[in-house]
Chains A and B, each alone.
Chain A
Amino acid sequence: MLSIKNLHASVEGKEILKGINLEIKAGEVHAIMGPNGSGKSTLSQVLAGNEAFEVTEGEITLNGDNLLELETEERAREGIFLAFQYPVEIPGVSNLQFLRTAVNAMRQHKGQDEMNAAEFMKLAREISKQVDLDPAFLKRGVNEGFSGGEKKRNEIMQALLLQPKLAILDETDSGLDIDALKVVSDGVNALRAEDRAILMVTHYQRLLNHIVPDYVHVLAGGKIIKSGGRELALELEERGYGWLGIKDEETADSSAN
């Protein structure tokens, strides 16, 4: 489904990704792990088409189509979804309105009729319950005054609403207490499907106890330095990143972060 070949990307002239190769098939769940500053978040942003990052080399294809030629919103409509690490607030725009606009943009792209307010309200209420959010939050401004946990649940709710082909979860576990982690993980597990791939970016192993990945990759210094199965994550937990010979510089970076 997703194929990344020799991907190089930089921000403000500084190269962050230095030749990423990754193949993800439909139905698979991949976890990208690595210390802070290794390029994990950059990879998610580049996949989603954040124009602050410049792709200098390499290619990304989604089901054979060149993703790099598409605008952010076009990629989204082709089924790329990014659950943000720090979802931004949009004051005054109700969550309901925002979500319906997004869902209808997707539906329009697929040639489906737009959902009216009543239909959408019904759907949104059901899904909000699935991630344990009070439906009253639908009327609040987008991420406005949401707690960290609410923001993350809101992101997962959006994934459930938009039903993407590839869901990229950027540090979705950060800032969650154990109960919230359970709710979010249940939401992500509900996303797992034959025709959908999930790419999880995480610093910690603990998320992977709840969402068991098929493959684990270790990203360091802008490259994938090791890939393996579920057991790789456990080994990392036990032995730390130092075990893989990750440079001191990056470890220093990570402590600074």
Chain B
Amino acid sequence: MATTDTEVNELIKREYEYGFVTDIESDTFEPGLNEDVIARLSGLKKEPEWMLEWRLKAYRRWLEMDEPDWAHVGYPKIDYNSISYYSAPKRPEDMPQSLDEVDPELLKTYEKLGIPLHEREKLAGVAVDAVFDSVSVATTFKEPLAKAGVIFCSISEAIQDYPELVKKYLGSVVPAGDNFFAGLNSAVFSDGTFVYVPKGVRCPMELSTYFRINAANTGQFERTLIIAEDSSYVSYLEGCTAPMRDENQLHAAVVELVALDDAQIKYSTVQNWYPGDEEGKGGIFNFVTKRGAAIGKNSKISWTQVETGSAVTWKYPSCVLRGENSVGEFYSVALTNNYQQADTGTKMIHLGKNTSSTIISKGISAGKSSNAYRGLVKFGPGAEGARNFTQCDSLLIGDRCGAHTFPYIESKNKSAIVEHEATTSKVSDEQMFLCRQRGIEPEQAVSMIVNGFCKEVFKELPMEFAVEAGKLLEVSLEGSVG
């Protein structure tokens, strides 16, 4: 069908569903970044001296670093002094002690996002930590988790309550000097999530965090640290949304995972930050460093991500496979539409013997967007018998988008085995005609075809979120056929 391309090109016009602004009183810092701002931030959070020192060290290091420019993305230069580094919903008292004390406006926000905390608490069995702008608002299920010995709290609380654990592991996987955005995050991270699963414990429920940027001109710099002790298991999911604003907003998070002997961490992301409008105005710059260290033998770290939002995405959830027989997995769906740009992929660093990794990447490009997979598979000299399997598939919708694949392989061990498969396909006119001839709306047809394309990744998501991810794709694709 000659018209499918035009059809497809026009299917991309649904509005961002989560673009509302919540009208609540906030305490927001003046824009600008210097040592005083960091000290104020740290002081406000009543952080111990060592934490402030850690931040300042990171800040000084960051000042000497350059913003990376190798990614296949283009965006105007960011003025780091025009960003506010702290915004918190104003509260009459201190932190709320239970959900009942949380600002009802804020709870409404979460309901709009489809995360009724109360319901989750009762029905879904999902423990939710919600981070609004810079602070953690409410953590449900803290008590039942505590009974199992699992610590699930905001990183700010962890700094107060579990300083030894934080000191030991914070920055151990992603050091402050790792890269420009990680350095910035280390200096100014305002909140985030901390998870500690003790030896032999299988975390009794899915843990989940929702991130929301609300205040204007505010950066969000959350920091997540997950530690799984020997023979433990935890599955964690994060979701994110932001209001529609004409200015770009910066999100520079750092996530560190540590898996000890026989431990497993499953980390899933459904990222739906505001992508900007049809003309490419506004949207979130999502510059994120995520890395897991599979330190222990037989440990396993699995990343699953569904990336549909953000104006620009720069993100490479990675695994450092240090322990013998450790396993790294990366399952990714990245969808770009309109003028969105994504440069995303993973790094699998094989250091230990018999380590193995799997990379399944599904890139979907629609509109005038650009979607790049960038992946590094590296084998150190000690990676005897290590192996990797990589599969990168790209799906194009319409004829004005781009898909790129940048695979890098470095091997210092001759016994390592790498397999790489890559395909590029289009939603074909014949497929569309078949669906439509059976009475299916073009939009629904595209969504169904795209969901089929992503199936291998969706099956890795926790059940309830797989449904959510499917719906999200549908919404993100709206307007891409007409």
Partner of A51, one of B2, B428, B435, B455: B2
Comparing B25-33, B69-77, B127-135, B436-444, the segment that makes contact with chain A is B436-444
**Are B438 and A76 touching (Cβ within 8 A)?**
yes
Query: Are A102 and B433 CB-contacts (below 8 A) given A50-B1, A51-B2, A91-B452?
Result: no
Task: Say how far B346's CB is from chain A's closest CB, in angstroms.
Answer: 22
Comparing A93-101, A176-184, A217-225, the segment that makes contact with chain B is A93-101
Q: Does A43 have its Cβ within 8 Å of any Cβ on chain B?
A: no
Q: Who on chain A is nearest to B444 by CB?
A: A101
Partner of B437, one of A82, A91, A97, A142: A82
Which residues from B are CB-within-8-Å of A71?
Answer: 436
Which residues from B are CB-within-8-Å of A87?
Answer: 434
Query: Are A88 and B1 CB-contacts (below 8 A) given A72-B436, A141-B452?
Result: no
Q: Who on chain A is nearest to B427 by CB?
A: A90
Total residues of chain B contacting the partner, CB 8 A? 27
What is the CA–CA distance of A105 and B441 in the complex, to the nearest angstrom? Answer: 8
**Are B452 and A72 touching (Cβ within 8 A)?**
no
Task: Say how far B452's CB is from chain A's closest CB, in angstroms.
Answer: 3
What is the CA–CA distance of A77 and B439 in the complex, to the nearest angstrom? Answer: 5
What is the CA–CA distance of A88 and B456 in the complex, to the nearest angstrom? Answer: 21
Which residues from A are CB-within-8-Å of B454?
Answer: 92
Q: Does B413 have its Cβ within 8 Å of any Cβ on chain A?
A: no
Which residues from B are CB-within-8-Å of A102?
Answer: 435, 438-440
Q: Does A31 have its Cβ within 8 Å of any Cβ on chain B?
A: no
Total residues of chain A contacting the partner, CB 8 A? 30
A49, A91, A92, A98: most-surrounded residue (chain B CB, <10 A)? A92
**Are B439 and A162 touching (Cβ within 8 A)?**
yes
Task: Say how far A204's CB is from chain B's closest CB, in angstroms.
Answer: 24
What is the CA–CA distance of A49 and B436 in the complex, to the nearest angstrom? Answer: 9
Q: Does B97 have its Cβ within 8 Å of any Cβ on chain A?
A: no
Q: Does B98 have its Cβ within 8 Å of any Cβ on chain A?
A: no
Q: Does A17 have its Cβ within 8 Å of any Cβ on chain B?
A: no
**Are B452 and A92 touching (Cβ within 8 A)?**
yes
**Are B453 and A73 touching (Cβ within 8 A)?**
no
**Are A76 and B441 touching (Cβ within 8 A)?**
no
Q: Who on chain B is nearest to A77 by CB?
A: B439
Majority SS at the chain B contact face: helix
Q: Does A84 have its Cβ within 8 Å of any Cβ on chain B?
A: yes
Q: Does B424 have its Cβ within 8 Å of any Cβ on chain A?
A: no
**Are B449 and A73 touching (Cβ within 8 A)?**
no
**Are A88 and B437 touching (Cβ within 8 A)?**
no
**Are B448 and A73 touching (Cβ within 8 A)?**
no
**Are B452 and A93 touching (Cβ within 8 A)?**
yes
Binary flags per residue of B1-44, CB closer than 8 Å to A gives 1, else 0: 11110000000000000000000000000000000000000000
Q: Does A234 have its Cβ within 8 Å of any Cβ on chain B?
A: no
Which residues from A are CB-within-8-Å of B4?
Answer: 51
**Are B1 and A105 touching (Cβ within 8 A)?**
no
Task: Say how far A22's CB is from chain B's closest CB, in angstroms.
Answer: 20
Which residues from B are CB-within-8-Å of A106?
Answer: 439
Q: Does B235 have its Cβ within 8 Å of any Cβ on chain A?
A: no
A52, A71, A141: most-surrounded residue (chain B CB, <10 A)? A52
**Are A73 and B451 touching (Cβ within 8 A)?**
no
Q: Does B53 have its Cβ within 8 Å of any Cβ on chain A?
A: no
Q: Does A48 have its Cβ within 8 Å of any Cβ on chain B?
A: yes
Which residues from B are CB-within-8-Å of A73?
Answer: 436-437, 439-442
Q: Who on chain B is nearest to A98 by CB?
A: B448
Q: Does B429 have its Cβ within 8 Å of any Cβ on chain A?
A: yes
Query: Are A90 and B438 CB-contacts (below 8 A) given A51-B2, A52-B1, A97-B448?
Result: no
Query: Are A88 and B428 CB-contacts (below 8 A) given A52-B1, A93-B448, A141-B452?
Result: yes
What is the CA–CA distance of A91 and B451 in the complex, to the nearest angstrom? Answer: 10
Q: Does B431 have its Cβ within 8 Å of any Cβ on chain A?
A: yes
Q: Does B79 have its Cβ within 8 Å of any Cβ on chain A?
A: no
Which residues from B are CB-within-8-Å of A247?
Answer: none
Query: Are A90 and B439 CB-contacts (below 8 A) given A51-B1, A98-B448?
Result: no
Q: Does B430 have its Cβ within 8 Å of any Cβ on chain A?
A: yes
What is the CA–CA distance of A48 and B432 in the complex, to the nearest angstrom? Answer: 13
What is the CA–CA distance of A158 and B437 in the complex, to the nearest angstrom? Answer: 11
Q: Which residues 402-446 in B have Cβ within 8 Å of A in the complex?
A: 428-431, 433-442, 444
Q: Who on chain A is nearest to B3 by CB?
A: A51
Which residues from A are CB-within-8-Å of B437?
Answer: 48-49, 72-73, 76, 81-82, 84
Partner of B438, one of A51, A91, A105, A141: A105
**Are A105 and B448 touching (Cβ within 8 A)?**
no
What is the CA–CA distance of A98 and B1 in the complex, to the nearest angstrom? Answer: 20
Which residues from B are CB-within-8-Å of A51?
Answer: 1-4
Which residues from A are CB-within-8-Å of B441?
Answer: 73, 105
What is the CA–CA distance of A202 and B260 in the complex, to the nearest angstrom? Answer: 67
Q: Who on chain B is nearest to A45 by CB?
A: B433
Task: Say how far B350's CB is from chain A's closest CB, in angstroms.
Answer: 30
Which residues from B are CB-within-8-Å of A92?
Answer: 451-456
Task: Say how far B448's CB is from chain A's closest CB, in angstroms.
Answer: 6
Q: Which residues 28-50 in A have Cβ within 8 Å of B in the complex?
A: 48-50
B430, B442, B451: most-surrounded residue (chain A CB, <10 A)? B430
What is the CA–CA distance of A227 and B434 in the complex, to the nearest angstrom? Answer: 30
Task: Say how far A61's CB is from chain B's closest CB, in angstroms.
Answer: 19
What is the CA–CA distance of A105 and B447 in the complex, to the nearest angstrom? Answer: 14
**Are A93 and B430 touching (Cβ within 8 A)?**
no
Q: Which residues 47-61 in A have Cβ within 8 Å of B in the complex?
A: 48-52
A88, A90, A158: most-surrounded residue (chain B CB, <10 A)? A90
Which residues from A are CB-within-8-Å of B434?
Answer: 84, 87-88, 90, 142
Which residues from B are CB-within-8-Å of A98?
Answer: 435, 438, 448
What is the CA–CA distance of A48 and B436 in the complex, to the nearest angstrom? Answer: 10
Which residues from A are CB-within-8-Å of B448?
Answer: 90, 93, 97-98, 101
Task: Say how far A72's CB is from chain B's closest CB, in angstroms.
Answer: 4
Which residues from B are CB-within-8-Å of A109?
Answer: 439
Which residues from B are CB-within-8-Å of A105?
Answer: 438-441, 444
What is the CA–CA distance of A236 and B448 in the complex, to the nearest angstrom? Answer: 44
Which residues from B are CB-within-8-Å of A97?
Answer: 448
Which residues from B are CB-within-8-Å of A91?
Answer: 452-453
- 10 pairs from A and B in contact (CB 8 Å cutoff): A51-B1, A73-B441, A93-B449, A93-B451, A93-B452, A101-B444, A101-B448, A102-B435, A109-B439, A162-B439
Q: Which 3 A-B pairs have the closest CB atoms?
A: A92-B452, A93-B452, A102-B438
Q: Which positions in B face A, CB cutoff 8 Å? A: 1-4, 428-431, 433-442, 444, 448-449, 451-456
Taking A76-B436, A76-B439 as given, write out 10 further A-B residue pairs in contact, using a Cβ cutoff of 8 Å, ordered by the A residue number: A51-B3, A71-B436, A72-B437, A73-B437, A73-B441, A93-B452, A98-B435, A101-B438, A102-B438, A158-B438
